[in-house]
Amino acid sequence: MKVEYNERVSLGQIDIRTDMVEKEVTILHLTDSHLLEVDDREEELDFLYAIQRKWKDIENVEAMSSRLHFNNLLQLGHEKEVGCTVMTGDVVDFPSLANLDFVKKSLQSLASPYLYTLGNHDWYYPYMEWNDSTRKDYYPRFFDFTYGNPAYQMVNVNGIKLIAIDNSNYQISEEQLHFFQEQLQDGLPCLLFMHIPLYIPSLATEVVQTWKAPIMMAAPGWDVKTQQLWKVRDADPSTIQFYHLVTGKEHDQLLGIFCGHVHFPHQDPFRPNRYQFITTPCFRGGYRIIRILPW
């Protein structure tokens, strides 16, 4: 099987050329817009205003700028006639009703399908406990964007499978693993989209420098205190199995992994000649155009 990557940085674009496809497919990857819309339907309004101020002070990001970036990039996808728009989490900074209304309205304007997988922010108000139970409680708010299943989805665009899996708790469940294994059965070319990047040694240095913690999936090197602070448990057996499945030699057809979470762009091989791409956050105007091209 032939696969060749050509990153065109100035265009925010990655071209993946392969003999596995016959038709060109273009995809827009967006991540980490951290939308900050609030209104008086929220119980803890002052708390949410304080979060808005924090974003302004630390990142110079305002609700309006996040909103503009998000809609401008959807428009860019429209102009480029993308076959799918894929959002890999932290689309909203918290699941406020105003945020979800905004996302719903924006996505309604799309002319092609989209995928939305969740990040560690989407389902969580910062005054709550960050845990699997909170995620479960808030999943229903995302049913409209996820074909009724925020845990995993797949869309097939011209014979290329785009697979989205919610790993926002740093884990892959048994059910998600089973779903992914099933998706690989037919051997069709596929791309995997998740919020949290897979641990790759060449990525770890910059992640730890930036975040003072190895905030990647299945990462070694946590110290106990930092791990408790981030509420990240050791990788579950199903997460480890998923990690081996993805990084092993068996499934050539996985052409790329696309993530966000760490808020800087990067690309690293997760196995020989297969790359994981982290995209610049949308709140800074970042995006990635993915073109899959016939050989």
Which residues in this chain contact Fe ion in the complex, by CB under 5 A? Answer: 32, 90
Supply the minimum distance, in Å, between the C-beta of residue 241 and Fe ion: 26
Sign of the CA dihedral 203, 206, 208, 211?
Answer: negative
Q: Which of residues 113 and 126 has its CB atom nearest to Fe ion in the complex? A: 126
Whether 190 and 163 have beta carbons less than 8 Å apart is answered as yes
Lateral strand order in the sheet of 266-271: 152-157, 160-165, 190-193, 254-259, 274-278, 266-271
Whether 189 and 159 have beta carbons less than 8 Å apart is answered as yes
Supply the minimum distance, in Å, between the C-beta of residue 119 and Fe ion: 6
Supply the minimum distance, in Å, between the C-beta of residue 166 and Fe ion: 14
Supply the minimum distance, in Å, between the C-beta of residue 122 and Fe ion: 9
Supply the minimum distance, in Å, between the C-beta of residue 50 and Fe ion: 18
Supply the minimum distance, in Å, between the C-beta of residue 182 and Fe ion: 29
Q: Which of residues 256 and 286 has its CB atom nearest to Fe ion in the complex? A: 286
The residue at minimum Cβ distance from Fe ion is: 90
Report the run of H or E that residue 114 belongs to, with start and end.
Answer: strand 114-117
Q: Which of residues 26 and 169 has its CB atom nearest to Fe ion in the complex? A: 169
Long-range (24+ apart) CB contacts under 8 A made by 263-272 are 263/32, 263/210, 264/206, 264/210, 266/197, 266/203, 266/206, 267/7, 267/14, 268/200, 268/202, 268/203, 269/200, 269/202, 270/198, 270/200, 270/246, 271/246, 271/247
Which of helix, strand or coil describes residue 207? helix
Q: Is 227 exposed, middle or buried (0-12, 13-18, 19+ CB in 10 A)?
A: middle
Mention every residue, 6+ apart, whose C-beta is less than 8 A from residue 49: 38
Q: Which of residues 255 and 282 has its CB atom nearest to Fe ion in the complex? A: 282
Supply the minimum distance, in Å, between the C-beta of residue 261 and Fe ion: 6
Whether 180 and 245 have beta carbons less than 8 Å apart is answered as yes
Q: Which of residues 37 and 90 has its CB atom nearest to Fe ion in the complex? A: 90
Q: Which of residues 122 and 146 has its CB atom nearest to Fe ion in the complex? A: 122
Q: Which of residues 32 and 37 has its CB atom nearest to Fe ion in the complex? A: 32
Which of helix, strand or coil describes residue 217? strand
